[in-house]
Structure 1
Amino acid sequence: MKINGNEIRPGNTIMHQDTLWRAVKIDAVKPGKGPAYAQVELKNLIDGRKLNERFRSSETVEKVRLEQKEHTFLYAEGDMLTFMDTESYEQIQIAEDMIGEQRAFLQDGMAVEVEMHEGRPIGVALPEQVTLTITETEPTVKGQTASSSYKPATLENGLRVMVPPHISADTAIIVNTQTIEYVKRAE
């Protein structure tokens, strides 16, 4: 499906320079002289390269629809991750670097959406939020709770996030997998 350059939105997958790219960040620029354009940060879905590109509203790009199938994460072996299709029970392997820093959020048995293009897996969409336990955090300093300060905490998967001062070690919290930020305390 063809769309104008100014219709690209974050998360869209487009065909550009004969390969697949995902729009990561978009800035609409209206210079004092000349026509407006969209400054788009793209990430290559095949090899992970990044590219900053300008698209004018008069240009058209091919928006690609990816097939999404529900899979369950089974295990990691070396730098390959194994997923199972929840309908056909067929297993596929995806390179760890295709997932990037979100790899730390994968847990055994986690339901994910595997994105496919022409039958080939090109990415994994994790749940927006996951529940993790804090293994280590600094103690609360008396009087610090009056301000909206945050303190660093280490999660069970090794990632560090900033949490409110009232959160202590061995507390389960909900973390946003996209921004890697504390959302709230798990109930």
Structure 2
Amino acid sequence: MELCHSNQLKIGLKIIYNNEPCIVVSNEFIKPGKGQAFFRVRLKNLLNKKLIDKTCKYSDCFKIANVIEITATYMFTDKKVWTFMDKKSFEQIFVEKNIIKNVLPWLLEQHDYIISLWNDQPISIVYSSNFIELIVVNTIPNARSGAINTYSKLALLNTGVTIKVPIFIQIGQIIKVDTRTSEYISKIS
């Protein structure tokens, strides 16, 4: 396994810290007036998403994590495990609910997702794009609810998620949604 020193920790590098994969969020060199120089490193644990602040000496070494990202197509679920197919090797990848829960509102068959693997096990999954096009399956008609400044209403989308949309959106229309914030972006048709 490859090693790197504290001064080689670049933003985005994936390392092993406390036997878990982490990504470097920031690395700041500190040279105090008195004493030895050091690095203030902020890591994000890839398994539990917690932030870790660590002070390191120049001589501290870290193992580089073998975390790879693959693009896979969602195929089906059997209620306990979600099955994806790697787009390059055509191998099936099985993802459990605790890993997939953040992307469940945007899960559509035959759509692509990016899966992070550590030791050949899925540790995270994200939609391959920041935006997704979904169909409005239910919403209230174009009527103001009596409030003076009502410019939005709730709409149920074909994945089962409910978001706020402008009052002109109707049932059956396709809209673009930001998968990071769950916000309406635009009307497609």
Does TM-score exceed 0.5, indicating one fold? yes
Aligned to 1:67: 68
CA contact (8 A) 1:127 1:177 kept: no
C-alpha distance after superposition, 1:100-150 (max 9, x if no partner): 131121111112222122333222221221111111222333599x96832
SS at 1:89's partner residue?
A: coil
- The aligned amino acid for 2:167 is P
Q: What is the aligned partner in structure 2 of residue 18 from structure 1?
A: 19
In the alignment, which of 144, 149, 153 is matched to residue 151 of structure 2?
149
Deviations 1:51-75 (A, max 9, x none): 3533458797767463122221111
Which residue pairs with 1:163 in the alignment? 165
Q: What TM-score, normalized by structure 2, do the two folds share?
A: 0.69
Calculate the aligned-residue CA RMSD, in Å: 3.6
Match of 2:119 in 1: 118
Q: State the alpha-carbon separation in 2 of the partners of residues 167 and 57 from structure 1.
A: 53
User: Gaps (5+ residues) in structure 1?
Assistant: 27-36
Q: Partner of 1:88: helix, strand, or coil?
A: coil
Aligned residues: 172
Distance 1:118 1:55 in 2: 25
The within-5 A match list for 1:1-187 is: 1=4, 13-21=14-22, 42=44, 44-45=46-47, 49=48, 51-55=50-54, 64=65, 66-128=67-129, 129-141=131-143, 149-187=151-189
Specify the code of the residue in structure 2 equivalent to 1:54: D
Q: Counterpart amino acid of 1:53?
A: I
Task: String of CA shifts for 1:49-100, please: whole Å, max 9, x gaps.
Answer: 4535334587977674631222211110122011112222211211122021
TM norm structure 1: 0.70
Aligned AA (2:161): L
How far, CA to CA, are the matches of 2:102 and 2:121 in structure 1?
21
**Which structure 2 residue ranges, 5 or more long, are not aligned?**
27-39
SS of residue matched to 1:81: strand
Which structure has the greater CA radius of gyration? 2
